[in-house]
Every structure is written in structure tokens, then in C-alpha cells.
Amino acid sequence: MIKLVIIGLWVCAAALGSSYAAAQWASGASAVEEEPYLEGLEYRKLELLTIPMVGEGTIQGYVVAKLVYTADAAVLREMSVEPDPFVVDEAFREIYTNGQVEFGKLSKYNLPEMALAIKNNANERLNYEVVQDILLEGLNYIDREEMSRVLKAAPAQQVEEDKSEHGEGQDAAKH
């Protein structure tokens, strides 16, 4: 009987000792410095920008721009505001102020200079170095007459699409 009690005490001591050793080993493993998660750049597409070009007191045409910007993902997470409106506003200001349109003739833009100005001004307003690069997806000029034709054609096309969706043209053909 004494032999059985001694074996039981020995098993309990071994179990307690191994549990203590495992707990110490596990806490030492978590103390190992974790490698920081390297986040990359995040690409964000902006909505299509339509910037009027004013000359001689009237709108001469429109510059249509499609921009994408890259931003540091870690900084984006820390920010309390979205940078998109600031980038859009700075792009609008840069193109509107420095847009080189004379009587429907679009002069060459210095695209790297324009992108750098948008980036720097947006970062300055945000008080963060969040915008890393401005990428130009598209840049076009549409004169005022062409824009008028497009806008006049759009409602007529919408009416035709609405009629075909509701089957109005099909009912008239049956009767």
C-alpha cells in the first residue's frame, strides 16, 4: 500500500514539474520578437474628374481625368479621414489652375510636375505623408460642343432603354 502511495506522489510531482516546465517554455517562445508585418502600398482609384476650362468668360471645354494614387496602407489605417476627397480636390485645383487650353487647343501638360504637385499639396493638407504616387489612367479634352452633343444624346438613349425594359414597344406591336 505504501508503495502505491509513493508511486502516486511521484506521478503527481512529475505531472506538476512537466506542467511548470511547459508553461515556462511557452512563455519564453512568445517573448521572441515577432517580425513586423510589412504592408505595402494600397492602390485607390478616384472617380472620374471633369474639370471645366474657362476662357473669355465662357466654358471652352472640359478636361476629363482618371487618376489612381498609391498610399501607405499602415498610414491609411491610422488616419481618421479618407484622403480621397483631398486628392480629388488637389487634382481639380491643379488642372483648373494650370490647365493650358486656348480656344479648344490643349497644350501639353508636364505630367510628372502635375502629379508631384497633386501629391505634395494633398499630403500637406492631410498633415501626413500618405500619398506616395499619382498615376494617370486617362486624360482627355472634350470641347463644349461635343459635350453638348453627348448630353443631348444621353436622355434620348435613356428613354429608349426604359421603353425596351418595360416592354412598351412590344405591346404596341401586338395590338
pLDDT band of 119, cuts 50, 70, 90: very high
Q: Coil, helix or strand for 83?
A: coil
Q: Is the pLDDT of residue 159 over 50?
A: yes
pLDDT for residue 37:
53
Query: Does 6 or 34 have the greater pLDDT score?
Result: 6
pTM for this entry: 0.61
Instruction: Convert 36-75 to b/e letters by CB count within 10 Å (16 or more is b).
Output: eeeeeebebebeebebbbeeeeeebbbbbbebebbbbeeb
Averaged pLDDT, 44-64: 87
pLDDT for residue 120:
95
Q: Round the average pLDDT of the chain to a whole number and report it.
A: 79
| Domains, the chain, with CATH or none | 41-144 (3.30.479)
Averaged pLDDT, 96-115: 70
pLDDT for residue 175:
46
Q: Is the pLDDT of residue 28 over 70?
A: no
Strand segments, DSSP code E, in 35-151 are 41-45, 49-55, 58-72, 101-102, 105-106, 131-143
pLDDT band of 33, cuts 50, 70, 90: low
